[in-house]
Amino acid sequence: MKRELVLVGLLVGCTNIQENQYDVETDVEQQMVTMRIDFGQTDGSLDWAPLNDNVMGGESVGVAEYTDTAVLFEGMISTDNNGGFVSLRSPVAEYDLSSFTEVEIAYRATGHNFKLILADRVAWWQPTFEAEIITTTDEWTTSTVSLYDFQQYEMNGYGDEPTGEPVTEELLSQILRIDLMNTDFADGEFTLEVDYIEFRGPVE
């Protein structure tokens, strides 16, 4: 019976979205708290924007458009001129994720896998916490990962290198940006459609 209550709580948290930017909803009876970024809603979810390797001289192209139910991010990744990445980024803001323990994303993707990035610093070249959460599939699917399984990476002259810095509740309270970025620097077309990103955790 307890498991049924939790599942109902997830459905309630997923469907009752208010007119707030990234609504945080608590249902004590179901023992879950959720925050959903719903790309079909006319709230802050529509403010995500591409940032691609042209900021450092690359030639990759990634453009985003919003439908009634999702965001469509598509284009071409090029490794010319030391490029090779595209990303879709949230606005810089204060995202307190300390109440949550996992994140779920509903998506479909072709051409490239993508990772979810949690950044506690504004500059894009600073270390970030990352987890590969999107693998290519023609069908709509969901993927879930623990926030405490994210790993911190820093840039060096040979790519990204893990630092060994763990995710903590304090760190999750200091997130300033949430990104989606391709995992491999490789040439080719890509499409990524995302319905929602939902953070959730137990009510204490």
3-class SS shares of the chain: helix, strand, coil, % to 5: 15, 45, 40
Q: What is the pLDDT of residues 26-62, one digit of tens each?
A: 554 568 899 999 998 777 678 999 999 998 889 999 9
Query: Measuring CA to CA, which residue among 137, 173, 190, 132 is closest to residue 35?
Result: 173
91 touches 102 (CB < 8 A): no
Q: What is the pLDDT of residues 76-90, one digit of tens each?
A: 999 999 899 999 999
178 touches 95 (CB < 8 A): yes
- pTM to 2 decimal places: 0.83
Q: How far apart are CA 129 and CA 146, in angstroms?
A: 12
169 pLDDT higher than 70: yes
Q: What percent of the chain has pLDDT over 90?
A: 70
Domains of the chain: 37-202 (2.60.120.260)
